[in-house]
Amino acid sequence: EMFTSVMSVKQAVFAERQLIDYLRTYLENEIQRLDDIKRFFSRVTSLHSGIYNEPSATIANPIVAFKLVKRLKSEWMNVVHSNEAEENIDALREGYRRMEGSLPMLEDVQGAAQGLMRLQDVYDLHVEGLVRGHFQQITNGDAVDIYKPPVSDTLSGDDCFLVGKVAYDLEDYYHSVQWFEEAVRLFRGTEWSPENEGTLEDALDHLAFSHFKTGNISYALSLSQELLLHDPVNSRVHFNVEKYKKLLDDSPPVTNQSLVLKRPDSTYLRTRNVYEKLCQTKGSQPKHFENPRLFCDFFTNGNPGLLLQPIKRELISLHPYLVLFHNFVTRAEAKSIREYAVPGLRRSVVASGVNQSTAEYRISKSAWLKESPHGVVGKVDRRITMVTGLNVQPPYAEYLQVVNYGIGGHYEPHFDHATSDSSPLYRLKTGNRVATFMIYLSSVEAGGYTAFIYANFSVPVVENGALFWWNLHRNGQGNVDTLHAGCPVIVGDKWVANKWVHEYGQEFQHRCSLNPEE
């Protein structure tokens, strides 16, 4: 599950370096082998254009005759039956096999492709732009960069074919049409390469079928006809051509306007538009000057530990109550927490009934940290207590959860607190998650905002900063205004750490009230 964490993807770079070494050895050996065969070939051909031009005279020479007989029986056989080619390819395959444990799997390719399509959807990115390595939206007919990466790469016809194929296999023809279009366009202009999975014919075939599935029969027909030019004996395509012609005869082609492709439905359609808008912009949270009750200050919480170095506090929202603490950790602390988490990173799970399971809507890896040898986790725990006054010792809070997002990694709108009595969150027997303290352990080049859906604002990643909010009203009910999400990361390696504080143990810090508004 390499695609679920950028950290794991980074490790794949080293695996590829090793493969490059194997391939280099293979090429050197094969070049040597062919050079040897070429030498034999030149020697034999030169004999035939030289001394053998006088056959009767030459063959009369017993040395020449011996060499001819020996060559035909022995030398040719050695060349023709050599195992060297197999030995070389076997060595290459053995090298690849040894690396297999550190190579991505099919699900990684699928996950990475879905990550690209997620970015395409949530940020309304233009596929043609992505293909050229640009992150662009189309605004009033113009392509506008939402982010310009310092290093960029382009996608090949085969890359696009693969993304299209992932969508196609999920019967998602909305995406497959767009990606196969690009694959066909790029394949048309390039020669086939041995590393490719698809060909122009494959792409035409899949694109035609995708168009057929979305109701664009006349386009499916013309693509199939083009395909027959390349593959005239393909009976399946002949059959399809006849089928499409008949369908078009029976009912006139639909106009292009009525064929606007629709994105596949998702489980969170109700909030999707707001969510995506908040990922693209910061939303409509009032600025401090518009709401005088919002403020920034240097905060000590009356705590001697903070007197010399008060913390920069920014009240971002009143409903829900949301505070951003700037420079809550140092760069060195963030780095050591990230490093300490790496060996424990596992695919993130979400509550599912009484259990936990992986889900499309949360793409990241996470690790639960107990105390670290250098004490940084304890230090951070104590600092959380200083600024919030909350008891963060287990079981009154969970261990620190460190999260690393993957390719297009995200966490769709969710509540941190349990919304059902059977939630696995209650296993600690200290009540629900009353508050969330979330630390940004990295910066992000683009994307990755934390979006508060009903509150209608989002917070861009603030490196080393921390967000704090109450998940529950004082009466113990969940506060629906805390519905929030981690937007897909466009470019970057996003890390956060969550400290979830439970109800028990906080009775004096977060007093109860019967007022459902509090």
Ligand X SMILES: O=C(O)CCC(=O)C(=O)O
The footprint of ligand X (CB under 6 A) covers 403, 411, 416, 450, 484, 486, 496, 498
CB of 483 to ligand X, least distance (A): 10
Minimum CB distance to ligand X, residue 487 (Å): 7
| Nearest distance in Å: CB 414, Fe ion | 6
| Residue 159 binding target from ligand X, Fe ion, none, CB below 5 to 8 Å by type | none
Smallest distance, Å, CB 426 to ligand X?
Answer: 17
Q: Is the peptide bond between 320 and the residue preceding it cis, with omega within 30 degrees of 0?
A: yes
Cβ contact 168:206 at 8 Å: yes
- Look at residue 176 and give the partner it binds from ligand X, Fe ion, none, a contact being a CB closer than 5 to 8 Å depending on partner kind: none
Tokens 């950028």 correspond to 6
Nearer to ligand X, 465 or 486 (CB): 486
Q: Which residue's Cβ lies closest to Fe ion?
A: 416
**Cβ of residue 455: shortest distance to ligand X, in angstroms?**
14
**With CB cut-offs between 5 and 8 Å by kind, which of Fe ion, ligand X, none does residue 450 bind?**
ligand X
Q: For the range 135-139, what are the long-range contacts, defined as Cβ-Cβ under 8 Å and sequence gap of 24 or more?
A: 135/446, 135/490, 135/491
Q: How far is the CB of 230 from Fe ion (least distance, A)?
A: 51
**Using CB distances below 5 to 8 A depending on partner kind, what does residue 403 bind out of Fe ion, ligand X, none?**
ligand X
Residue 282's CB: how many other CB atoms inside 10 A? 13
DSSP 246-315: HHHHHSPPPPGGGG---PPP-TTHHHHHHHHHHHHS-BSPPPTTT-TT--EEEE-TT-HHHHSS-EEEEE
Q: Which residue has the tokens 């967000």?
A: 467
Q: Which residue's CB is nearer to ligand X, number 431 or number 465?
A: 465
Nearer to ligand X, 103 or 349 (CB): 349
Out of ligand X, Fe ion, none, what residue 471 binds, judged by CB under 5 to 8 A for its kind, is none
Residue 187 or 495: the one with the smaller Cβ distance to Fe ion is: 495
- Least distance CB 7 / ligand X (angstroms): 15
Q: Between residues 215 and 460, which has the closer beta carbon with respect to ligand X?
A: 460
Query: Which residue number, 134 or 494, has a Cβ lying nearer to ligand X?
Result: 494
Backbone angles phi, psi at 413, to 5 degrees: -45, 130
Where are any strands of DSSP class E within 86-149?
A: 135-139, 142-147
Nearer to Fe ion, 219 or 405 (CB): 405
Quick one: which of 332, 301, 325, 330 has its CA closest to 466?
Answer: 325
Dist. CA 191–CA 140, nearest whole Å = 36
Residues forming the site for Fe ion (CB under 5 A): 416
Classify residue 470 by burial, with Cβ atoms within 10 Å: 0-12, 13-18, 19+: buried
Residue 188 neighbours by CB under 8 Å, 6+ apart: 200
Q: Which does 214 bind (CB under 5 to 8 A by kind): ligand X, Fe ion, none?
A: none
Closer residue to ligand X, CB minimum distance, 220 or 397: 397
Q: Which does 164 bind (CB under 5 to 8 A by kind): Fe ion, ligand X, none?
A: none
Report the candidate in 136, 167, 165 with the shortest Cα–Cα distance to residue 264. 167
Q: Which does 496 bind (CB under 5 to 8 A by kind): ligand X, Fe ion, none?
A: ligand X
Q: How far is the CB of 433 from ligand X (least distance, A)?
A: 10
| CA 266 – CA 240 distance, rounded (Å) | 31
Closest to 361 (Cα-Cα) out of 414, 415, 412, 413: 412
